[in-house]
Structure 1
Amino acid sequence: MSSQTIADKQRTSYPKKKLLLYDELRELPNRFDVIAISKMSKVRATQLMTIRKKFRTTMKIKVIKNRVAQRSFEKTNNRKGLSDLSKELEGQCALLFTNISPFKLNLLFDKNKVFMPAKGGDIATKDIMIPAGNTGIPPGPVLSEFKEANVPTKIDQGSIWVSKDTAVVRSGGGGIISQKLASLMSKLNIKPVEAGISVSIAIANGLFLRENDLKINLDEYGKELAISFQQAISLAMEAAYPTPETIRGLVLKTHQNVLSLAIQSGYVSSDTIISLLSRASNDGQILAELVKKAGYTTS
């Protein structure tokens, strides 16, 4: 039996849906400029559905078994970096196919993140605070939950009040949220877990990009861009390089230089006459003072 016959028999033994997905994954890398992986370990199903709906016209999102994708990519040899990307498929992943820059994609995903109630075992990405004030919860067994979380309380007007702002989880100290604390925060309507997807790894324009490569601080980047712009303008002015941004300054600078040269050389014009007369007056006063100091008198 030939190897082709064996391959055909193996192919017919797979479910039709899996075969269609296999074929689609062989074709998608050639249709899009960017291929990315998003780790789905902390992504809620509702978040993924929202992202699918919002980007349905600009992105293909495939949540599949890693081995199916890896087998498909093995047959797609003309895409640079695809084999390296394939090796990163571990755990629950989503494959993203798009023509949007991975840097812009990460920024778009950040804007679509929401805060969700915590579950036991979640890890805090930032310090979690329970604010001071009226919780609206009547006294009862829940008081023991506050005590266990080291949250100071008092009873006032028939409800539990938190006495002061209290950090219940520190992100730098492991940041693991217990089941009891998650339950307490749910009662207080505190939603500390940021949910959404982000780009973990991407290939684009021959580049292999990891998550840290794709993180952009827009405020810091904007400040650096403004500083670079001012430095470029200063350099262009010094080099007398004309651009739409420098031409006005260069014309003014040239005018000032020409005017200064004309005044220094005593050239009389409508632009220099006032300055020349003022300089002559000052020179005359200085000369008069020198003559007076020498013992001469002026009439």
Structure 2
Amino acid sequence: MALYTVNLPQWKKDEVEVIKAYAQEYALTGLVDLQGIPASQLQEMRRDLRGSTVLKMTRNTLIEHAFGELGEPISGLNTHIDGQSALIYTNENPFALYRKLQQTMSKMVARAGDIAAQDIVVEKGPTSFKPGPIVGVLQQAGVPAAIEGGKVVIRETKTFVKAGEEITAKQADVLAKLDIRTKDVGLSLQVAYYDGTFYEPSVLAIDETEYFNNIVLAAQQAFNLSVNAVYPTAATIEAIIAKAAGEARNLGVEAVVYEKGVVEMIIGRANAQAKALKGVVE
């Protein structure tokens, strides 16, 4: 029996074996953060992922036991376990999984105790509230509210919570009343282990359009370099020959070399110069 599970009750040993079996069955094993996801939304996410991805919720200690038994390098996942972690398995590559998980994200109203990821701004303008106690609630929370024309209005745009600050109960109540949704909630990938390599979100969060445009630009620059350096390849040989032919024709015209393909250009150039001279003389 493995050292890590020797003192575990049978149901926990069985759970560890399931975790290990999935890790050996699928090409990718990852950890996702479930913190703050409502149960109903989590069930919907699991349904959306079903078929190509397995989401397994279990205790962090059992995850650590399982990966400890599997050994290096996959046991390195244990250093990324944090908070309410869950396991995710798929045969897709990490970039495809990251994009799929990003699609599970939705905006929700922040709760008391949450840390603002960015400045939360209350915009100037009318609200849907009728005059009443709501004005005092907004003002006490720091929102410049007033009654104008029989409506509750926000008199000026205000940074309600600064990035990095903890949201208070009063602020959370106002955000809920104003239906200001600033919190991204969904399956957040903590790390993915794939083909012997660990992938963190900072690596996977790429702008695909920008990435594609950079590849196109690099290909264009490589093509131009090959042509200008006269380095023939299958893709550039025609452009190099065309460039050389054009330069040879231009040289023939400048040097007044009467060769086939050049003489007509020489005559045409001389004719144009004669007409220009005639215009000046007359």
TM-score normalised by the shorter chain: which range applies?
A: 0.7 to 0.9
Cα RMSD (Å): 3.0
Give the equivalent residue in structure 1 for 2:62: 68
Q: Please, which of 99, 112, 125 is the counterpart of residue 91 of structure 2? A: 99
Whether the 8 Å CA contact 2:120–2:162 is kept in 1: the answer is yes
Residue matched to 2:107: 115
Verify: 1:259 aligned to 2:255, yes or no: no
- Report the counterpart of residue 241 of structure 1 in structure 2: 232
1:140 to 123, 129, 132: 132
Q: What stretches of structure 1 move > 6 A for 4+ residues in a row?
A: 282-285
Quick one: which amino acid aligns to residue 177 of structure 1? I
Deviation at 1:159, TM superposition (A): 2.2
* Contact map agreement 1:44 1:196 (CA 8 A) in 2: no
User: Deviation at 1:265?
Assistant: 6.3
Q: Give the distance between the partners of 1:45 and 1:241, measured in 2 at CA.
A: 62
Task: Give, in whole Å, the separation in 2 of the partners of 1:283 and 1:218.
Answer: 54
Q: Does the CA contact (< 8 Å) of 1:242 and 1:250 recur in 2?
A: no
* Structure 1 residue 251: Cα displacement: 4.4
Alignment CA distance shift 1:248-1:137 (3 Å): farther
Q: 1:184 to 1:252 in 2, by over 3 A?
A: same
Alignment: residue pair count? 274
CA shift for structure 1 position 143: 1.5
**Alpha-carbon deviation of 1:160?**
0.5
Inter-partner Cα distance in structure 1 for 2:270 and 2:132: 95
Structure 1 gap segments, 5+ residues each: 286-299
Distance 1:49 1:266, change over 3 A: same
Flag structure 2 segments of 5+ consecutive residues without an equivalent: 276-282
Q: Which amino acid aligns with 1:151?
A: V
Alignment partner of 1:276: what SS? helix
TM (normalized to structure 1)? 0.79
Q: Give 3-state SS (helix, strand or coil) of 1:125's partner.
A: coil
* 2:191–2:200 CA contact under 8 A, matched in 1: yes
Residues 105-150 of structure 1: per-residue CA shift (max 9 Å, x gap): 2222223311012211111112112222221212222222211232
Identity %, equivalent residues:
24
Contact 1:268–1:276, Cα closer than 8 Å, also in 2: no
TM-score computed with the length of structure 2 as normaliser: 0.83
1:170 to 162, 170, 173: 162
Q: Distance in 2 between matches of 1:136 and 1:220?
A: 40
CA gap of 1:211–1:275, structure 2 versus 1, over 3 A, is same
Partner of 1:28: 22
